[in-house]
């Protein structure tokens, strides 16, 4: 997929790649996911259409997705092997390549907002666990009881799976990439990780260069899927490197990297945005919750592999 070229601004989002199909997703779940994707596009597009920054736009879109229980991020995140919720997020802007990330946070309503606070309020890139939770108390960001993140559907899934690690990575993650009217790009990603994770497992989403990356010279990227494989391949940075150093298009680089993920036994997808406003997604699963909108293209959302 590629959005209309030469848009003044452009936005693409994802809600995770996985085994979604018309056979296993109910009509109600399908409709709810599409509505949540549309709301996130609206949130990000409102920022960009008003002349706002790509950074503000991806933050707005991802915060909308974090509040949507249909996706594995924020409210609706999957459970660890201990039946708790641990949240990861990252955000990066392409002008200076400043970035912020958090891992294993438990009380901040919007993990991506906390990641941005790390970027803007500390000299660090990444905070994790009890330290990240402690830092959150200094930021003024909304804190919630950990039970707020739990939903009946995730509880049902956990009861069904027990403490089995979700090797199929069925429940994805969320992310956004954008290009603003100033020609700058940004990316953000947020996730609850994988069902049954233990021992403080952290995937690719909060790791700059693996699941999240932005560089005005190349692209903005947000990934979803089997995090260990995306970490091993450094997918987000590698995609940008192929654009910058080999002169590949963002679309070609995205396809190449997802093929490499598949070659090592991994599954998932990426969304990517060029500095020119061309949005691309690529995935090797049966579905990926996704959507795009641009100043020169109307909003559209999709779930299944054969949808445009």
Residue 7 has what DSSP assignment? -
User: Which strands form 219-225's sheet, in the order they lie side by side?
Assistant: 212-215, 219-225, 268-273, 279-283
CA dist 84 → 194, 198, 228, 295 (Å): 12, 10, 21, 41
180 Cβ partners below 8 Å, 6+ apart? 9, 48, 51, 52, 53, 54, 57, 186
Q: Answer whether 105's CB lies under 8 Å from 133's CB.
A: yes
Asked if 95 is an active-site residue, the reply is: no
The catalytic position among 106, 173, 191, 212 is 173
25 Cβ partners below 8 Å, 6+ apart? 33, 287, 303
Q: Which residues are catalytic?
A: 173
């Amino acid at each position: 997929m590629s959005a209309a070229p030469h848009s003044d601004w452009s936005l693409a989002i994802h809600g995770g790649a996985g085994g979604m199909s018309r056979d296993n997703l109910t009509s109600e779940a399908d409709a709810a996911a599409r509505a949540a994707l549309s709301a996130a596009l609206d949130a990000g597009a409102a920022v960009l259409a008003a002349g706002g920054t790509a950074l503000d736009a991806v933050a707005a879109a991802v915060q909308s997705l974090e509040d949507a229980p249909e996706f594995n991020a924020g409210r609706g995140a999957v459970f660890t092997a201990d039946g708790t919720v641990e949240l990861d997020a990252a955000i990066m802007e392409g002008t200076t390549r400043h970035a912020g990330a958090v891992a294993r946070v438990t009380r901040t309503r919007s993990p991506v907002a906390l990641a941005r606070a790390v970027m803007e309020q500390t000299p660090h890139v990444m905070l994790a666990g009890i330290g990240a939770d402690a830092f959150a108390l200094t930021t003024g960001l909304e804190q919630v009881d950990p039970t707020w993140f739990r939903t009946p559907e995730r509880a049902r899934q956990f009861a069904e799976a027990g403490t089995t690690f979700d090797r199929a990575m069925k429940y994805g993650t969320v992310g956004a990439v954008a290009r603003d009217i100033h020609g700058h790009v940004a990316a953000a990603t947020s996730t609850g990780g994988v069902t049954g994770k233990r021992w403080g497992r952290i995937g690719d989403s909060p790791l700059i260069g693996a699941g999240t990356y932005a560089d005005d010279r190349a692209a903005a990227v947000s990934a979803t899927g089997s995090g260990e494989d995306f970490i091993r391949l450094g997918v987000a940075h590698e995609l940008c490197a192929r654009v910058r150093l080999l002169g590949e298009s963002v679309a070609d680089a995205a396809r190449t990297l997802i093929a490499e993920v598949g070659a090592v036994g991994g599954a998932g997808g990426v969304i990517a945005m060029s500095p020119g406003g061309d949005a691309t997604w690529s995935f090797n699963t049966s579905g990926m919750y996704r959507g795009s909108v641009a100043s020169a293209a109307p909003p559209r959302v999709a779930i299944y592999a054969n949808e445009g």
